[in-house]
Structure 1
Amino acid sequence: MVMYIIDTHSHLWLRQDTVVNGLPIRPLPDGRADFMGEERQMLPPFMIDGKNSAEVFLSNMNYAQVSAAVVVQEFIDGNQNDYLEEVARSYPDRFFVCGFCDVRHPGFYPQVEELCSRGFKAIAVPGHRLFLPEGRVWLTSDEMMAMFKYMERNGMILSVTLADGDVQVAEMEEVIAECPDLKIAVGHFGMVTVPGWLEQIKLARHENVSVESGGITWLFNSEFYPYPSAIKAIRTAADEVGFDKLMWGSDYPRTITAITYRMSYDFVLKSAELSDEEKRLFLGENARRFYGFKELVDLPYIKNMSE
């Protein structure tokens, strides 16, 4: 059985230099970052210049036999539209990139039309970052709904991460009702380690909604590899919405400060709790269908020096 592996939640940036809620995020040497007043290991320590490039990611993907990746965006990484447009142009068969607009402030709607005109086929919305000191930004605001309806009309995909539990689920239900043909990928596996996570998963009962597991190894980091509770959660989610609605995502590069890139899916591949067909769907086939990947590269296994 041929199995293509597709990563549905990753990040790229040339320079991570931004401010979130008045707090800076700046690169430091050796893969570290000043992260909102705290020094954190943002990247693996061999990425010494703070640059999280497509070429380094491709090397990881080739080694781990990952055929393609979806690149989302986050406020903490800063706006990377220009770089991701270049990445998509340079590696069209390897990367599906999401555009980004600053939905935290009114007046962002023209950015949506601009992103579409530039060829972006998806927009990422970090919904969990919309609880601002000056007040909450609602996913159902007039401008947000106008954006979602524009995306629906133009066949764009919404990649969205939500606040813990069911805090924003009712808003998403309203968005789905108003935009039934808008394809939506719910990220971070519903924040699976937080009470109420299944309410996010249940959004995938709607025809055009799927769930991706970006960051699942981070959420179960205290348990660590091979993440038996993550496997149990995948099974629980499948019981709710079906395996054809679930997709693997890594949250590269942040998660590979703790594990290798291959380990971020290898625990699924080696699990005895999932069938071969379930693994095929979760690790790539569902993503191929959802994002419309066509020509996927075949990547041979390269033997390690340690073997």
Structure 2
Amino acid sequence: MREMEGAEVHRAVIVPPSWEGDRNDLALEVARLHPDRFAVMGRITIESPESRGLMAAWRHQPGMLGIRLIFRRPDLQRILSEGHADWLWAEAEQAGVPVMILIDSHHTGLIDRVAERHLGLKIVLDHLCIAGGAKNEEAFKDLDQVLAVARRPNIAVKATALPRYSTESYPYRGIHPHLRRIYDAFGPKRVFWGTDLTRLSCTYSQAITMITEEISWLTEEDKSWIMGRGVCEWLGWKM
């Protein structure tokens, strides 16, 4: 919270770390203690029979906004490609539970089909589907595959941890043209800023001012949507 105060960040959506497994209790406790500052996109074990039926009451948990899924390992990719997650899309759509998904760009076609079949399901693609460790032009070489799903009005993207994808110094101007393409495809209401604070190569404040002060073509209204209003409305977190 000291970092947030110093950077004048009023709210944060917490994603519980994957290395602890699919547990949400600690994140939910933080949201319970500070409901005006934190909310949670929780984890769920898709392949567990006990997970079925949970979506109906998922958002009844104080501080819980939705679910966050990872499909990067081959075994997790098979869950998606072989249809083993189909039950979850239907349940989440029915219950109004938004979903954040971390997936490689070359698998976005699978998410496109999910979005087409479940028009009421709100989906956010995390980290612009950029491969971990990629830098500069290499990081954005498959951006066209992400931009292709912008045609689905129920898909948004998180422009998260952007400085880590550049070897330049602040304000990372080599990234700006890619941001323009993302903005043009999705519009300001479906592009959500985020930091992924522990992975930043700059200060928290610089991760913010990179967007709010260094990109001249963004209007003040654009910045309002990208820097928080958009994600709050998408996830149903009342402002």
On whether the aligned pair clears a TM of 0.5, the verdict is yes
Counterparts of 1:143 and 1:112, CA distance in 2 = 16
Aligned with 2:107 (options 168, 176, 193): 168
- Please state whether the residue corresponding to 1:168 is helix, strand or coil: helix
- Please state whether the residue corresponding to 1:211 is helix, strand or coil: strand
Question: Higher relative contact order by CA 8 Å / sep ≥ 6: 1 or 2?
Answer: 1
- Cα RMSD between the aligned structures? 2.4
Deviation of the 1:216 alpha carbon: 1.4
Matched, 1:223 2:168: yes
Per the alignment, do residues 198 and 190 of structure 1 end up closer, same or farther by CA in structure 2, a change over 3 Å counting? farther
Q: Which has the higher helix share?
A: 2
- Please state whether the residue corresponding to 1:212 is helix, strand or coil: strand
Deviation of the 1:181 alpha carbon: 0.5
Aligned with 1:279 (options 214, 223, 227): 223
The residue that corresponds to 2:43 in the other structure is 100
Cα displacement string for residues 173-196 of structure 1 (whole angstroms, at most 9, x for unaligned residues): 121122110111111023182422
Runs of 4+ in 1 over 6 A off after TM superposition: none
> Do 2:3 and 2:204's aligned partners in 1 also have CA atoms closer than 8 Å?
yes
The residue that corresponds to 1:28 in the other structure is none
> What's the TM-score, normalizing by structure 2?
0.85
- Please state whether the residue corresponding to 2:194 is helix, strand or coil: coil
Counterparts of 2:194 and 2:48, CA distance in 1 = 31
> Do 2:193 and 2:228's aligned partners in 1 also have CA atoms closer than 8 Å?
yes
Moved more, 270-279 or 222-231: 270-279
Matched, 1:290 2:234: yes
Count of residues paired in the alignment: 229
Deviation of the 1:243 alpha carbon: 2.2
Counterparts of 2:123 and 2:54, CA distance in 1 = 16
Aligned with 1:247 (options 168, 188, 192): 192
Aligned with 1:149 (options 90, 96, 117): 90
The residue that corresponds to 1:50 in the other structure is none
Per the alignment, do residues 106 and 136 of structure 1 end up closer, same or farther by CA in structure 2, a change over 3 Å counting? farther
- Please state whether the residue corresponding to 1:102 is helix, strand or coil: coil
Aligned with 1:262 (options 205, 212, 215): 205
- Please state whether the residue corresponding to 1:203 is helix, strand or coil: helix
> What's the TM-score, normalizing by structure 1?
0.67
The aligned runs of 1:163-202 (5 Å cut-off) are 163=104, 165=105, 167-191=106-130, 193-202=139-148
Larger Rg: 1
Deviation of the 1:272 alpha carbon: 4.3
What amino acid maps onto 1:64 in structure 2?
A
The residue that corresponds to 1:55 in the other structure is none
Counterparts of 1:185 and 1:117, CA distance in 2 = 17
Cα displacement string for residues 230-255 of structure 1 (whole angstroms, at most 9, x for unaligned residues): 22211111122222211101012232
Counterparts of 1:92 and 1:204, CA distance in 2 = 32
Deviation of the 1:96 alpha carbon: 1.9
State the percentage of identical aligned residues. Answer: 22
- Please state whether the residue corresponding to 1:262 is helix, strand or coil: helix
The residue that corresponds to 2:27 in the other structure is 84
- Please state whether the residue corresponding to 2:146 is helix, strand or coil: helix
Deviation of the 1:108 alpha carbon: 5.8
> Do 2:16 and 2:27's aligned partners in 1 also have CA atoms closer than 8 Å?
no
Aligned with 1:209 (options 155, 165, 182): 155
Aligned with 2:6 (options 46, 63, 68): 63
